[in-house]
Amino acid sequence: MIVIGLTGTNCAGKGTIAEYLKNKSFYYESLSDIIREKLRGENKEINSDNLVAKGNELRERYGAGILADLMLEKIEDDNCKNYVVDSIRNVQEVNSLRKIPCFFLFDIDAPLEIRFNRLVSRNRKGDPKTLEEFIADEERQNNLNPLYQQIKACQELANVHILNDSTKEDFYPKIDSALNSLLPDIAERFKRPRWDETWMNIAKEIARRSNCIKRKVGAVIVKNNKYVSSGYNGTPMKNKNCYEGGCPRCTSFAKSGSAYGECLCEHAERNAIEQADDDEREGATLYINLAPCLDCSKGLINAGIKEVVYETPFPLEVRDKKLEEAGVKLRKFEK
């Protein structure tokens, strides 16, 4: 996930760069939109004064980085996208967003008179009407109080500074140049999960399909880092689900290590084995979020599995010896 943050003076062109980046597959978000939602909930007019006041109120109540923290919660839930985040106006907001490895702050600026003329042209309700009011409004956005707006301080923290003192046609190449300048840093900071992490995450996602009420277990078989099959624990097909009373051991909440004769749930690794052909299983690796039991370990040996990677231990000395004797490596997953 790449996140471009926008800060800078009023009417410098932050909206223009946001629209331009949206056309380059960046999804738009704004810290000011969080404040707008709060104002709407209070039936207050959305204007510059109210936005500044409400933003400062939220920072005073919840901390200087609250708007960015709320934004982080939103975008980190869908971190397969790139984002452009507008309206960054406090130093702590920058610090919070820098928790994202590929976060870059763009400062957009333009000469005062040019910016005021743009403000007059857009004719937005609640905007200052005179140059003096415009200057006074900007001064309010550069407060020494660390909980309030600090535009100039944010500008100083920017990775990229862009002067937008001409037309859009002149501005766009500057944006492209800025993006290109980030490529070395993106290559250095770009994060993606290791293969072990990828397959274990898939196993844990598969576990969510389990119908067992005692423990959810998922397994995935992989060969040469290619998916082969998967399985999760639960009662057999065409039988009542465990959570519906299909397994006496589980519904009685039997003591750990006891009453296995009453268990009607098939284990995840067994189901994964049954979903794969013989040649696919031979020499493959099984990832599972719980170390296998002895019975399933025998099945894994006979299926030709050569490595078992588990997350949660299930101590069983006899299983360990049998796997070792058969040449099957048992390895704990390391994050």
The one-letter amino acid code at 200 reads M
Burial of residue 161, with CB atoms counted within 10 A of its CB: 0-12 exposed, 13-18 middle, 19 or more buried:
middle
In the set 132, 269, 280, 325, the catalytic residue is 269
Q: Can you read off the two tokens belonging to residue 206?
A: 């598969």
Residues 6+ apart with CB under 8 A from 151: 7, 8, 9, 89, 138, 141, 142
Question: Are 35 and 49 in contact, with CB atoms under 8 Å apart?
Answer: no
- What does the alpha-carbon distance between residue 313 and residue 127 come to, in Å, rounded to a whole number? 62
> Is 269 marked active-site?
yes
Parallel/antiparallel/unpaired status of strands 160-163 and 226-232: unpaired
* 286 CB-side CA count, 13 A: 35
Active site residues: 269
